[in-house]
Amino acid sequence: MKLSIKEWDQKLRNSSTEEISRLLEFLASDERQGAKKLFKTYTSRLLEVEAELRRLEIMCSFEKQCTANGKNFIAGVDEVGRGPLAGPVVAAAVILPEGYTLNGINDSKKLSEKKREDLYERIVKDAVCYSTYLVQPDKIDEINIYQASKLAMTEAVYQLKIQPDQLLIDAMEIPLPIDQKKIIKGDEKSISIAAASIVAKVTRDRYMKKLDQMYPHYGFKSNMGYGTKEHLEALRTFGATEIHRKTFSPVGEIIQYTGSE
């Protein structure tokens, strides 16, 4: 019996990727316009699924190589918040289960806020362990942002409940006696670093939203401490707060001009 277009659609919706591929072979010979439309739609979805699987396979290549070299606990490490005028720099370290994949995981900067939040919940639930570390503005001003980022990463690794035997780090090396690989744009190339990127980003964004309640004039819940027009105007009007980075321009200049600190 020939299926109606509605029945075909329902059948395809409820099928696995492998089943869809098989069903599309039958649907390809159906001359009805509705059938042709379904074929085009589900073929496109199938190609997207296959492309995502290939992308994830590439993102797991560093982890697979480390596992092949006898490493048992591989930690991805990344930081966020180097550029803002206010708030901490935040690092995360994440150890994922061996062979772990997660659809949609990517560099946190390439994801919407909702997607980051959804992925964050999955990552912290599925991870072998993870940790975060915040370096506050006074320390950033004391040692500079590069050293503060390195400190945040080092402490994030140090505070993991299980100490890793391999680190995969986004474009940096840290002073710990653990084998480590520096990967340029690592949050795009390594699933472990991407996971750390997302955990660090969501942690910092949530923290800045809490600061917004304490300092409502600066728009931290939307600008996350970056130097937006709204933020700069608030700085000139209300001056700098204790969570502003005094060594960052134009915060230092505004402090001198307004006398606020």
Residue ranges per structural domain of the chain? 5-58, 61-205, 211-258
Q: What single string gives the DSSP state of each residue in 86-121?
A: BS-EEEEEEEPPTT---TT---GGGS-HHHHHHHHH
Which pTM value belongs to this model? 0.88
Two tokens at 197?
Answer: 């990127």
Binding residues for a divalent metal cation are 78-79, 170
Strands 166-170 and 89-95 come out as unpaired
The pLDDT of residue 260: 55
DSSP H helical segments within the chain, as ranges? 5-13, 17-27, 33-59, 61-68, 113-126, 137-143, 145-158, 186-189, 191-214, 220-223, 229-238, 251-258
Q: What is the pLDDT along the chain (261 residues), one digit of tens a residue?
A: 588 888 888 988 888 888 888 888 888 888 889 988 998 988 888 888 888 999 999 999 999 999 999 999 999 999 999 999 999 999 999 999 999 999 999 999 999 999 999 999 999 999 999 999 999 999 999 999 999 999 999 999 999 999 999 999 999 999 999 999 999 999 999 999 999 999 999 999 999 999 999 999 999 999 999 999 999 999 999 999 999 999 999 998 888 766 555
Binding residues are 78-79, 170
Strands 166-170 and 74-80 come out as parallel
Amino acid at 109: K
The pLDDT of residue 156: 98
The pLDDT of residue 66: 98
CB under 8 Å to 212, separation ≥6 — which residues? 218, 219, 220, 221
The residue whose two tokens read 């923290």 is: 207
CA gap 64, 79 in Å, rounded: 23
Class of domain 61-205: alpha beta
DSSP three-state, residue 160: coil
> What b/e string do you get for 30-51 counting C-beta neighbours within 10 Å, with b at 16 or more?
beeeebeebbeebeeeeeeeee
The pLDDT of residue 159: 97
The pLDDT of residue 11: 85
The pLDDT of residue 47: 87
Residue 8 DSSP code: H
- CB of 205 within 8 A of CB of 103? no
The pLDDT of residue 259: 54
Two tokens at 248?
Answer: 């960052």
Q: Which residue, 54, 147, 132, 142, is CA-closest to 93?
A: 132
CA 211, 212, 218: angle at the middle one, nearest 5?
115
CA gap 229, 239 in Å, rounded: 14
Two tokens at 60?
Answer: 């797991």
The pLDDT of residue 58: 96
